[in-house]
Each structure stands twice: as structure tokens, then as C-alpha cells.
Amino acid sequence: VQDGTGFRRFAGYALPAGLANDGLRPGDGLAGQAAKENRIFHVRDVPEGYLPVASSLGQGEPRELLVAPAAVDGAVQAVLELGFLQAVRP
């Protein structure tokens, strides 16, 4: 979510305990690039160890990512990053 100088994590699900919330500036990392360019990224073959996800039933690593900006009147207000444990089909 936009906080004036950049973005901060507003919510997360299945994230590892103790994950830092250092904030994000437009252009930093994949989510920052999505915010800066106001465009969606679909990443296949996510690098090993990128960001594990966990639940009470187990843990895994995403195989694909969808990173999408949420904009109002052309100004990005938030970025949504979804990790998929299996390949996404159109």
C-alpha cells in the first residue's frame, strides 16, 4: 500500500514468520518495478529459495508469481503479489 514515500506491506498470507517489512520504493525489486511501470508481471520458473510459503499443513516454494499493481486514475496505490505452487494455466 502506498504510504507517501513508497510502499509498505499491508497484509500477507502464508508468509514465513519474522519476514521483515522494510518497505519498498518504486523500481526496487519485482513488486517495485510493477509499481513504477504500472504493469503486470507473470513470472514462470521462480528461482529456488525466492520466498517460501507455509501453512499448518506444510511449506513450499512458489513455481510462478503474478505481480499486479492496483491503480486509481493512473496512480499506483498498491501492488498485489501472488505465488502459485503449481503452474498457472490461462
Q: Give residue-wise pLDDT tens across range 35-55.
A: 999 999 999 989 888 888 887
49 Rama class: left (phi>0) / alpha (psi -120 to 50) / beta? left
Residues 6+ apart with CB under 8 A from 29: none
Domain ranges of the chain: 1-90
Q: Is the pLDDT of residue 73 over 90?
A: yes
Q: Is the pLDDT of residue 67 over 90?
A: yes
**Which of 31, 44, 41 is CA-nearest to residue 86?**
44
What's the confidence (pLDDT) of residue 68? 96
